[in-house]
Structure 1
Amino acid sequence: MRNKRTATLAALSIGVLLLSACGSAGGTAQQPSEAAEEDLATTINVAISQTPDAYNSYTANANSVYNTYVNNVVHSTFVAFNADGELERNEDFGTFEKTSDDPLTVKYTINEDAVWSDGTPIDFDDVLLQWAAASGKHPSGEKDPDTGAETDLFQAASTNGFGQIELPDGEAGDKEFEFVYAEPYADWESLLSEPMMPAHIAAEQGGMSPEGDGAELIEAIKGTDIEALKPVAEFWNTGWNYEADLPKLPDAALIPSSGPYKLDNAVDGTLTLVKNDKYWGKERGAKTETLVYKTVVDEEAVQALQNGDVDVIDPSSPTVDTKSALEQIGETVTVETGETLTFSHVDLAQRPGDVFEDLKVRQAFAKCMPREDMVEKFVKPIEPEGQVMDLREYQPAQPDYKTVLDGAPAATENAELDIEGAKALLAEAGKTEPVKVSLMYASTSQLRADMVALMKASCDEAGFEIIPQPEEEWAAMLAQPGSWDAVLFGWAGSGLVASAESIYVSDGEQNFGGYKDEKVDSIWKEIVTNTDPEKVVEMKTELEQRLAETQYNVVLYANPGINAWNSKVEGVQPNPTQTGLTWNAYEWTKKK
């Protein structure tokens, strides 16, 4: 699975937020003629590598691209990333404009016709719940056992941006609202690229009345009524989760849609969406009656496409076998390969008492990683220009990569395979016995298993003992200290300046290994509040140098991407960002 980071591939640093461009991501929808409609299929089947596990994808445990693939067409947002990696406005949903620089103030207007698929207006209570959930300003009264800090009621994937916003002012039923920032925020234009959840559902499930346009919930949030908000937060955190392997959907009343499609049914991991008959938009209306998401492991995706079981595939971990098998099918399938904003890496558990608490052990692990071998075996057969990646916020294809790398020499100090150097570092750390490392990865991915096998063969020579730990529910285990020593997975980027803050800062929601560094925290503070694009590279260079000096993790390579679809399907445009292939699935059609 590719976890989601919340940039254009050519122009921006990887992270979660970008400057928006006017217009809608899909352009103006053209209604097909009656004759044309008769020639179109009513269903398009989409293969995804992992089963979606939640309707609310902004919780720390559900922030994955596989939920995003569905939510792209089930939820509406003010902005979204298009196929060029640019942020474009969705005026079907609403409009916004900056009205002040000091303090930074942004005025939003939700489309007057915007409603949830159950007919409930989308308005201020939905906005206020999103702010409450993502602002980190509702203390639970409980302490985090690792950091000692007080936890928040809401378990959001990130508080980036929302944490700087003052309590929004508005009344029940309002379609207009303002966000006033206590301090500047670099990625303000893309802040509302994440979907809002239906506040009337959360309120009712939390014991509040949904009547009066959510007046009771609004009052509780404005008054910071922690006791009243606890059951609402509990539902927001877990109430929209699906059962494991998606045998069925929750009650339809709990999962209304704000997008061109709505959730219809699920059976054994297959999820069916149908047109949302309450969708008001003129530019993003669904062109195909039904979308069906089928969970297909990467190794079986090409065969499923060739057999006609699915129409579109986007394997998360493509291999040279994937590419060659697609090429053999012929003209009945359209294939596109290229770079993505996803990169593979190994995160390290480094809390007190963890295997990688000692910097020298982390550095030794970096030195024994056969990164060049992995690129030769797993990347170049698909993307010949592929190479080892030494930075975390920039990828090799981006124009600022070399500039930043030249300014961060520590990024290459432990980059070369050096078994003897790794042994020496372990000796300096006082390690006289093999250092056991339980390395977690997705059990459904043969590519990840092959990568771990290479790591084990190399690092076991250097004084480690890697114990492969394949897990089906690995994503849910990321935030469970003690359940792994190292973990191999991918971050999917967006191209924003400040989006990755929660991955690296000491109290970050996505800092799964427990990394702590005051200097990194300070640099991120400067990055997040900076609104001068000219200063970004300088600040990110300083950040990269410090992350390398302290060996935050081990970066491997930028993942190559392969998308393929039945040549009868029209409208598919691969998207290199975290938004993924289905960003414009409402436009897709298929000839019979």
Structure 2
Amino acid sequence: MAISKKPFAALAVAALATTLVACGGSDGDNGGGSKSEGTAGGNAIFYNGVRNTEHWDPQRMYIGRDLNNSGRLFYRSLVAYPASNDPVKGTTPIPDLATDTGTSEEAGKVWKFTVRDDVKWEDGKAITCEDFAYGASRNFATDVIIGGPANYLFTYLDIPTGKDGLPEYKGPFKKTGQDLFDKAVSCDGNTITYKMKKPWPDFPQSIASLRYLDPYRADLDKGDASNFQIISNGPYKLDGKWTEGTGGKFVRNTNWDAKTDTIRKALPDTWQFKEGDTEETIYEQFLAKTGDANFGVTERRMPPTFYSRIAEAGKLYTKVESPFVDYVLPNFNSPVFKDIKCREALKFATDKTAWINAGGGERAFTPAYSAVNPSVPGYEKNAAFGDIPDNGDIEQAKAALAECSAPKPVKIKFTYSGGTPTSDKQASALKAAWDKAGFKTELDPLADTYYSVIQKPDADFDVTWGGWGADWPSIGTVIPPLFDSRINITPSSNGNDYGNYKGGPEVDAMIDAAYAETDLTKAASLWAGVDAKLGEDVAYIPLEITIFNFLHGSKITGYSNNVSTNGYADLATIGVTK
């Protein structure tokens, strides 16, 4: 899942859970924050900061912050992760809208779930099996439902692939190939059946980790116009409309029945989501311990300028190792970076030490040598990056740039998730190193939105920033979602393949072989081989592994950075003191 850092994302993976820690005060362990139990009532605030929510449409969401928050407040699915920081319990799905965690047949090629008969939408209508089938179908409308993790269904669901490399079913709006979908996803009363092309043993994990298989109301679907429409089946519902750049208010959903929900405590009476505040403003308010911020939480990381005040924060401070890796991507549609020598020059010129220092140093990051987090089973350091000094190799960069076919000086535009002093400082650090090697870099910060811009295949940039964490503990939830062009690139979107990388028949065959391998150890080795090829092609350049430094309001209770929410604040347990 994409990172909201600048977007953060993804749900926690079991392998990472063993390394995820949270500290209070002056780095003293407090188990993840305030463990005091709250009581019902009061009003809580979530600060999105300057990184706006880009989608509330469940089939379009792929940002960890928004996946986590929506799944704790207003969206439910067949199964979900419990609110736990236990490495095993917190990453093991439990029933949510289903009666159990599903049954598999044919060695994992068929999965069945039974929908509870006592759960409702916010308007009182029953949640049906057909709502789940319709939600799944929306993923195939690739001209409308853009940006989500539909790639998993394209890969596994038993629907033929057309000449365009995409499924022959084109979604519920066009209805082309509807019979193909109806054979793959079907309802028998309250029981929904999913038929796969090949075994998918961790299918329940994909449901719990993402929102793409959430139910959706066909009678309320407005396509792209539904992007900020929230049809709740959880404990809260949107009061009025969501305003991009400002936020929205969530109030209690009277048609949610707590007896059907073992996960969400739903303690506050309301949740106010606020957009537009800088990280500096948010953290200054937390430290002041006065006003509305006392009742607030955020996923915006502490600015480095506040590190000297951590002792002042006391138990309001938590430090969490994250599952996310940041990287930059050459745009393969750029005239400059069609040339491998130009990409190699960028690789050698990239100074990850300067990037890390500009972002807060070792308290905020550790160097990365792959797009895969080391906590993911099968991780291997990518040889294409492992031998390059962390501060780059300017001489090798200059040598490669001399062979680059682009006119000199080589002008490039770096589009990144900006709008904060820290992100702009980090971008400037990369620019300084690139320019020293002979590039002439233009910085292009995007503040209000980011992914919706860079996901356009014709977007005007030469280099962009990305961040990712495994959707669950498999390299197969990192490499294909990011670099399999067959499931990403369409005329209207590049999906998560932000650099528009097309590996061609060789890489496609390597990916298919890794998917086909049922032995998990052997599969991990095959995925590492794909990653090595990506390194040879300079499909991406790794920067660092993110460390979270958070504060929260002094009136917040039940605060915990759970593995079940990827190290973010788990809104399922939070309350406020009145």
Q: TM-score range by the shorter chain?
A: 0.7 to 0.9
Name the aligned partner's letter for residue 483 of structure 1: D
Per the alignment, residue 188 of structure 1 pairs with: 203
Note the 1:216-365 alignment, pairs <5 A: 235-236=222-223, 238-242=224-228, 255-265=230-240, 266=242, 269-280=246-257, 281-283=260-262, 284-295=264-275, 296-305=277-286, 306=288, 307-310=290-293, 311-329=295-313, 331=314, 333-351=315-333, 353-365=334-346
1:493–1:578 Cα contact (<8 Å) kept: no
Q: CA deviation at 1:198?
A: 5.4
Match of 1:516 among 502, 507, 521: 502
Structure 1 residues 321 and 367: CA distance shift in structure 2, 3 A = same
User: d(CA) in 1 for partners of 2:93 and 2:43?
Assistant: 28
Could you list the per-position Cα deviations for residues 391-448 of structure 1 after superposition, in whole angstroms to 9, with x for gaps in the alignment? 11233x56754xx22xx42332445511111110011223451111111122322221
User: d(CA) in 2 for partners of 1:579 and 1:394?
Assistant: 13
Per the alignment, residue 87 of structure 1 pairs with: 91
> Gaps (5+ residues) in structure 2?
1-5, 19-36, 159-180, 489-494
Could you list the per-position Cα deviations for residues 201-253 of structure 1 after superposition, in whole angstroms to 9, with x for gaps in the alignment? x4355xxxxxxxxxxxxxxxxxxxxxxxxxxxxx33x12224xxxxxxxxxxx
Per the alignment, residue 42 of structure 1 pairs with: 42
Indicate the percent of aligned positions where both proteins have the same amino acid.
18
1:44–1:288 Cα contact (<8 Å) kept: yes
Task: Give SS of 2:485's match.
Answer: coil
User: d(CA) in 2 for partners of 1:502 and 1:469?
Assistant: 25
Per the alignment, residue 143 of structure 1 pairs with: none
User: d(CA) in 2 for partners of 1:108 and 1:278?
Assistant: 23
User: d(CA) in 1 for partners of 2:201 and 2:186?
Assistant: 28
Name the aligned partner's letter for residue 53 of structure 2: P
User: d(CA) in 1 for partners of 2:413 and 2:253?
Assistant: 46
User: d(CA) in 2 for partners of 1:447 and 1:520?
Assistant: 36
Task: Give SS of 1:286's match.
Answer: coil
Per the alignment, residue 22 of structure 2 pairs with: none
Q: CA deviation at 1:494?
A: 3.1
Per the alignment, residue 145 of structure 1 pairs with: none
User: d(CA) in 2 for partners of 1:318 and 1:494?
Assistant: 24
User: d(CA) in 1 for partners of 2:151 and 2:192?
Assistant: 19
Answer yes or no: is 1:390 the counterpart of 2:369.
Answer: yes
1:302–1:325 Cα contact (<8 Å) kept: no
Answer yes or no: is 1:161 the counterpart of 2:152.
Answer: yes
Q: CA RMSD in A?
A: 3.0
Answer yes or no: is 1:423 the counterpart of 2:398.
Answer: yes
User: d(CA) in 1 for partners of 2:568 and 2:454?
Assistant: 25
Name the aligned partner's letter for residue 499 of structure 1: T
> Gaps (5+ residues) in structure 1?
14-31, 139-150, 206-234, 243-253
Name the aligned partner's letter for residue 342 of structure 1: F
Structure 1 residues 90 and 43: CA distance shift in structure 2, 3 A = farther
Task: Give SS of 2:363's match.
Answer: coil
Q: CA deviation at 1:540?
A: 2.4
Could you list the per-position Cα deviations for residues 236-278 of structure 1 after superposition, in whole angstroms to 9, with x for gaps in the alignment? 3x12224xxxxxxxxxxx6321112211245661321122211
Q: CA deviation at 1:103?
A: 6.2
Q: CA deviation at 1:557?
A: 0.1
Q: How many equivalent residue pairs?
A: 501
Could you list the per-position Cα deviations for residues 129-178 of structure 1 after superposition, in whole angstroms to 9, with x for gaps in the alignment? 122122x4x6xxxxxxxxxxxx6564352333322223356777832111
Note the 1:112-191 alignment, pairs <5 A: 112-134=117-139, 136=140, 154-155=145-146, 157-163=148-154, 164-166=156-158, 167=181, 174-185=189-200, 187-191=202-206
User: d(CA) in 1 for partners of 2:284 and 2:502?
Assistant: 45
User: d(CA) in 2 for partners of 1:533 and 1:413?
Assistant: 28
Per the alignment, residue 473 of structure 2 pairs with: 496
- TM-score, with length taken from structure 1: 0.77
